[in-house]
Structure 1
Amino acid sequence: MKVIVAGFPKTGTKTMQAALKELGYNVYDYMENFEFLEKEWKQICTVGGSTELFRKMYENVDAVTDIPGCAFWDEILKAFPDAKVILTLRENEDEWFESFERQANENLSLKWKLKILLSVTGLRLYNHGRRIVLSTLSYKLDDALNKTVLKMRYRRHNAHVLQNAPKDHLLVFNVKSGWGPLCTFLGVPVPDTPFPHKNKNASIVEEMFKTDPTVLKMQRETKIAWLVIASMQFKEMYKNSRGDI
């Protein structure tokens, strides 16, 4: 582990994932933590973890972004004390909450819920999300968002990072600053490509429907489920029609 992005969700974490990948890092974001570390995160969220567990989880990973990693940044740092910490921030906490709220509403859209209800993988992802959100943000996934409480948690998280991260290994970063400060901090050349900007206006969900392996698997399982349901309905209709003869 070389880089821990400790910023809360909706502070540019998907942009950071793309930027770090562009710089050659192997990055685990939310979906990678589900796809490859679901069992380990279930253990951490239910009975607890250890420095050795975090070391084992991320021994072949260069960087981690988004939840759950950002909320456990200090535990990951214990396992990898030479890692650099990046605290991504929005302009202000009201802007952060508005962005967080948009993403939460998009995640609870009918299209997404159908993928969860009719897919074994989707149900696993939903249960994983419930554990992660409860452990990191302290609210239940289907609860209404409490603006006051969530802003307080955002504020406290940022203060914790600023107070406890090693100052010589910490970068406070707004993604609007682009490649310069990031590459200087990491000690790498500035790419000749534009700095990425991902998940604008919660667009990541639509992108995931097209490209994410786990979500594509969910869509295949959903299609199969619809075919099974349609077949059962057809058989029932045929049975009823035969009974009328």
Structure 2
Amino acid sequence: MKVIVAGIAKTGTTTIASALNLLGYSTYGYIENQYFLHAQWSKIFKNGGTANDFRRMYTDVDAVVDTPCCYYWEELSQAFPEAKIILTIRDEESWYRSLAHQIDMANSSFIYWIMSNFTLSAFTQHYYSRVRDEYLLTVARWPSRKLKIKDKPYLMKLYREHNFYVQMKAPKDKLLVYKVSEGWEPLCKFLGEEIPNKPFPHENKDGSRAKNMLTTKKNVGRKYVRHALISLGGFALVGSYTLYKCYQLWPFSYTRYVARIHYFIFRHLITGK
């Protein structure tokens, strides 16, 4: 592990993940953690994690970004003491608007609806509900499974407290407080990398992640949608079989229906049952 991004979601985490990828760093963000490491994170949420747990999880990973890693930056730093820490920040009002807009985008996204309702690995794992409800600072509305953002003053307080804590606790010689609008120069200088001959990325603009999930790293978004379609196919198959058996057992024919009513009336008159 070379880089731990401690900035919380909507501070340019998707952008910096893309920038790190362009610099040649193998990077795990929210999606990769959910898809590949949900069992390990579920255990950590419940029982806590050791330095050895984190080292096993991220053996071949150069950088971690976004939820839930940004909330475990201190534990990750203890597991990887040589790793540098980047705190991505942005204006509070801009951060809140971006978060609220992404929630709206997710609620209007067919892909998100499919993944939330029909991807078994998504809604049966403790990881998914814990991250969504606590670390993404939202709550789910049932039965629609749509998301609702939490109280604005409460979120602002959490945002300020998180940023203050990182700046107070992280070693100053290993910390970069960074806005993605600053581009390549401060990032590459901090990491000791040459500035690439490529434009600095600008990902998840206006909370567009919900629309872009099919093109995420390692096609994880595609895998989730594929799982959802398999689940939908299974539900459709079971539903069709159930309807077929009901058709066999229940007399849909009007003549058979009337005859069965007569039979029950006659049996009641004779037996009293």
- TM-score w.r.t. length of structure 2: 0.80
> Hey, what does 2:50 align to over in structure 1?
50
**1:115 match: secondary structure:** helix
1:218 aligns to 2:227 (yes or no) = yes
> Hey, what does 2:198 align to over in structure 1?
193
Unaligned runs of 5+ in 2: 142-147, 256-273
8 A Cα contact 1:121 1:217, kept in partner = no
For 1:17, give the aligned amino acid: A
For 1:86, give the aligned amino acid: I
The Cα of 1:204 is off from its aligned counterpart by 1.0
CA distance in 1, matches of 2:92, 2:68: 20
For 1:189, give the aligned amino acid: E
> Hey, what does 2:127 align to over in structure 1?
128
> Hey, what does 2:75 align to over in structure 1?
75
8 A Cα contact 2:119 2:224, kept in partner = no
- Aligned equivalent of 1:168, options 170, 173, 176: 173
Q: Aligned residues: percent identity? A: 37
Let me know the Cα RMSD of the aligned residues: 2.4
> Hey, what does 1:180 align to over in structure 2?
185
The Cα of 1:9 is off from its aligned counterpart by 0.2
8 A Cα contact 1:35 1:214, kept in partner = no
For 2:167, give the aligned amino acid: L
Distance 1:198 1:102, change over 3 A: same
For 1:243, give the aligned amino acid: S
The Cα of 1:95 is off from its aligned counterpart by 1.0
For 1:33, give the aligned amino acid: N
Distance 1:219 1:138, change over 3 A: closer
Distance 1:133 1:221, change over 3 A: same
Q: Deviations over 1:153-200 (max 9, x none)?
A: 110000011111111111111111111111111111111111111101
- TM-score w.r.t. length of structure 1: 0.88
**2:196 match: secondary structure:** coil
**2:85 match: secondary structure:** strand
1:204 aligns to 2:209 (yes or no) = yes
Count of residue correspondences: 243
> Hey, what does 2:240 align to over in structure 1?
231
> Hey, what does 1:87 align to over in structure 2?
87
The Cα of 1:118 is off from its aligned counterpart by 2.4
CA distance in 1, matches of 2:102, 2:132: 13
CA distance in 2, matches of 1:36, 1:18: 19
> Hey, what does 2:22 align to over in structure 1?
22
Unaligned runs of 5+ in 1: none
The Cα of 1:20 is off from its aligned counterpart by 0.5
**2:181 match: secondary structure:** helix
Distance 1:241 1:197, change over 3 A: farther
